Amino acid sequence: MRIAICENEIKHQERVQRLLQQWANDSNRDISISTFKDAESLIMLWEDVIYDVLLLDIEMKKISGMELAKIIRRIDDNVIIIFITSHTSYSLEGYDVNPLHYLIKPIQEKVFFKVLDKAYAIYSLRGGDGLLINSEDGLVKIPTDTICYISMSAHYAKVYTSNGIYETRTTAKELAMSLPAHFIDCHRSYIINMFKVNCTFNGYVIMNDHTEIPVSRSRSKQVRELFARIQTR
């Protein structure tokens, strides 16, 4: 699980980093941690790395953590956002960015670990450890890095992978919530793995297996922007 800490007070940043590492060691979970001293630094690197969890200090200079979250939400609907704050008056303002939790300084270890457990559960459900589906062969766990795209028809989905095709009864909404941030429902009938996109055009994309997938007008900007971010990694 890839985690970014954006905190302008070094002592708080270091404490959060220590607690994160302690949580990961105690729970035997694999994480990577990046640290940023301000929102501008994170925004500059945002095109190069896709994070699963963001820990954002709200009270930062120039660009606040709340403003940063609003910027990020314009291009990423799925990243898990956890705010760090000295005050409790931001909850209504943060409604639009759908944060997982507000951590009050000084951060309490037990509270923080419970929030991290919840974040990891969401990450896992989104396919961090593989996509679980009910197929005609029973419960199947599909590594998300093998998925190219998913086609939807009524209440059924076909998952196209490098190892074959799996069919399951589900909805596009349920699947989208179960997949990492680099999967996009680019069309009402398709969800695509942006790491498997070869090129983008006006109204469609070409996948690495040469399949042509339509892209709706409302999703075209998000698809192009995420494709550009991935290509510059």
Q: What are the chain's domains?
A: 2-128 (3.40.50.2300), 131-231 (2.40.50.1020)
Confidence of residue 81 (pLDDT cuts 50, 70, 90): very high
195 within 8 A of 230, measured Cβ to Cβ: yes
Q: Which of 49, 1, 51, 4 is nearest to 28 (CA)?
A: 1
Q: Kindly tell me if the per-residue pLDDT of 114 is higher than 90.
A: yes
What pLDDT score does 68 carry? 94
CA torsion sign for 166, 167, 169, 174 is positive
Q: What single DSSP character describes residue 210? A: -
Gap between the Cα atoms of 170 and 152, Å rounded: 9
- Is the pTM value of this prediction over 0.75? no
Instruction: List the structure tokens of 191.
Output: 């969800």
Q: Kindly tell me if the per-residue pLDDT of 169 is higher than 70.
A: yes
Region 65-84 average pLDDT: 88
Region 23-32 average pLDDT: 90
Region 190-209 average pLDDT: 94
